[in-house]
C-alpha cells in the first residue's frame, strides 16, 4: 500500500518542509498511487492540469526527478511541468546515485529534500518509493514503479474527459497484462465513477488480494478471459506492451500467452461505435495492437501522451499550492 500523510491544508507544503534532515512532519503528503488522492482531490488535480497560463507555484524552488528506470514521456513531461510552474527541474540517474550501493533510499530522500520542494522517482521496486516517502520531509511522487503508475492514470483520465466531456456512464476496457498501468488505471476509473473491465490470459490477471485492494479503494473490476467480451460496448479500449522492462527473459512465453489479445480493428468493432483507443506507450505494433488501430482514426494515443504534461503540472501544482479556493498566482 502507498503512504499518505495528510496536512492541514491539502495542496500546500508546510513552511518547514524543505531543508530539514529530521523525520518528516506528519503533514507531508506523498502520492505513490491514485488512491493517495481523495475523489475531490483527484478532480482538483485534473482541473489544475488544464490551466493554460503559466504559474509561479514553484518559483525559486527545485524539483528532483530521479530516474532509476529509463524514460521518454515521463522525463520530458515532468521537466516541462516544473518549468511551467516557474521551478527548476533537476534530473538524476541511478548511475549518479546508486541506491543501496552508494547510499540508501532514505539518505537520498533526506538529501534531496534539502534542496527541492518535491521529489519524483521512477523506480523498478515500489518499496524504494515507500522508503523514500517514510524519510522525506517533502512530497515524494511516484513517476512509475512495478506496482503503480499514477501520472499515467491522471493523463488517461484527462484524455477520457477531453473526449467525452465527463466520466459519467463511461466504461473503460483494458486488454492485456494486469500490470502497474492497469492497476492505477483501474483506481482512477473507479474513483471517477466509471466502469472498469480487464481481459487477461490465465495467470496474468489481478490476484484476489489485489482485487480486494482495488475494491477497497473504490474500483469495481470485471475480469474476463475473452477480450471481445471485455470490450463489448466499451467507450475506451486500452492496452499496454506484453513485455515490460525487466521481463525480457519472459518475452517468448508472453508473446505466446498473449497471442489472442491483440487489439485489432475487429476487436475495436466490438466496442461502442464512438469508442477510442488508448495506449500508454511505447507500443509494439503487430503485438499488443495492430498498426491500423494505433495509427487509425479511433486512436487517441498522441493526445494521451500530450496529457502527461498536464498530469504532472496539475499534481505538482496541487502539492505546492495555492490551496483550493485561493486564486493562482500568474505571470
pLDDT recorded at residue 247: 75
- Between CA 282 and CA 71 the distance in angstroms is 10
- Between CA 192 and CA 95 the distance in angstroms is 39
Instruction: Provide the pairing of β-strand 171-175 with 195-199.
Output: parallel
Q: CB of 130 within 8 A of CB of 32? A: yes
Residue whose C-alpha cell reads 532509476 in the numeric block: 68
The catalytic residue among 61, 191, 280, 300 is 280
pLDDT recorded at residue 322: 67
Number of other CB atoms surrounding residue 149 within 10 Å: 27
* 63, β-bridge pairs: 89, 118
- Between CA 310 and CA 314 the distance in angstroms is 6
Could you list the mean pLDDT of each consecutive 10-residue stretch along the chain, which spans 331 residues?
A: 36 38 65 97 96 87 96 97 97 94 97 98 98 98 98 98 98 98 98 98 96 95 98 98 83 95 98 98 97 98 98 96 56 48
The catalytic residue among 48, 61, 149, 300 is 149
The catalytic residue among 36, 84, 147, 152 is 152
Q: What is the layout of strands, in order, in the sheet containing 88-93?
A: 88-93, 62-67, 116-122, 140-144
pTM over 0.85: yes
Residue 284 bears catalytic tag: no
Residue 256 bears catalytic tag: no
Measuring CA to CA, which residue among 145, 148, 88, 76 is closest to residue 306? Answer: 76
Residue 149 bears catalytic tag: yes
> What is 34-149+308-320's CATH number?
3.40.50.1370
pLDDT recorded at residue 249: 85
The catalytic residue among 122, 126, 170, 191 is 122
Q: Which CATH number fits domain 151-306: 1.10.940.10, 3.60.15.10, 3.40.50.300, 3.40.50.1370?
A: 3.40.50.1370
pLDDT recorded at residue 248: 82
How do the domains of the chain map onto residue ranges? 34-149+308-320, 151-306
Residue 308 bears catalytic tag: yes
Neighbour-count burial of 265, counting CB atoms closer than 10 A to its CB (0-12 exposed, 13-18 middle, 19+ buried): exposed
The catalytic residue among 147, 197, 240, 304 is 240
The catalytic residue among 61, 116, 298, 308 is 308
Matching fold, domains 34-149+308-320 and 151-306: yes
Contacts of 228 (CB under 8 A, 6+ apart): 267, 270
- Between CA 42 and CA 219 the distance in angstroms is 14
pLDDT recorded at residue 27: 77
Amino acid at each position: 500500500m502507498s503512504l499518505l500523510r495528510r496536512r492541514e491544508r491539502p495542496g500546500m507544503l508546510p513552511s518547514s518542509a524543505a531543508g530539514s534532515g529530521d523525520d518528516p512532519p506528519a503533514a507531508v503528503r506523498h502520492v505513490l498511487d491514485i488512491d493517495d488522492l481523495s475523489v475531490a482531490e483527484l478532480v482538483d488535480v485534473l482541473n489544475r492540469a488544464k490551466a493554460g497560463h503559466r504559474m509561479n507555484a514553484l518559483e525559486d524552488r527545485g524539483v528532483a526527478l530521479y530516474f532509476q528506470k529509463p524514460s521518454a514521456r515521463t522525463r520530458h513531461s515532468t521537466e516541462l511541468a516544473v518549468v511551467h510552474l516557474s521551478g527548476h527541474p533537476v534530473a538524476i540517474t541511478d548511475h549518479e546515485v546508486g541506491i543501496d550501493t552508494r547510499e540508501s533510499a532514505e539518505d537520498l530522500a533526506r538529501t534531496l529534500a534539502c534542496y527541492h520542494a518535491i521529489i519524483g522517482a521512477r523506480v523498478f521496486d515500489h518499496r524504494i518509493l515507500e522508503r523514500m516517502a517514510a524519510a522525506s520531509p517533502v512530497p515524494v511522487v511516484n513517476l512509475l514503479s512495478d506496482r503503480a503508475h499514477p501520472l499515467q492514470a491522471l493523463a488517461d483520465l484527462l484524455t477520457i474527459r477531453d473526449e467525452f466531456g465527463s466520466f459519467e456512464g463511461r466504461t473503460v476496457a483494458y486488454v492485456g497484462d494486469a500490470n502497474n498501468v492497469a492497476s492505477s488505471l483501474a483506481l482512477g476509473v473507479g474513483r471517477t465513477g466509471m466502469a472498469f473491465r480487464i481481459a487477461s490470459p490465465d495467470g496474468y490477471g489481478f490476484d484476489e488480494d489485489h482485487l480486494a485492494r482495488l475494491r477497497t479503494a473504490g474500483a469495481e473490476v470485471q475480469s474476463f478471459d475473452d477480450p471481445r467480451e471485455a470490450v463489448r460496448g466499451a467507450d475506451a479500449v486500452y492496452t499496454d506492451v506484453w513485455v515490460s522492462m525487466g521481463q525480457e527473459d519472459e518475452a517468448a512465453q508472453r508473446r505466446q500467452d498473449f497471442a489472442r489479445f491483440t487489439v485489432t480493428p475487429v476487436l475495436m468493432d466490438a466496442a461502442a461505435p464512438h469508442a477510442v483507443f488508448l495506449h500508454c506507450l511505447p507500443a509494439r505494433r503487430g503485438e499488443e495492437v495492430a498498426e491500423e488501430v494505433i495509427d487509425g482514426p479511433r486512436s487517441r494515443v498522441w493526445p494521451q501522451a500530450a496529457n502527461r504534461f498536464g498530469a504532472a503540472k496539475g499534481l505538482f501544482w496541487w502539492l505546492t499550492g495555492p490551496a483550493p479556493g485561493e486564486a493562482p498566482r500568474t505571470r
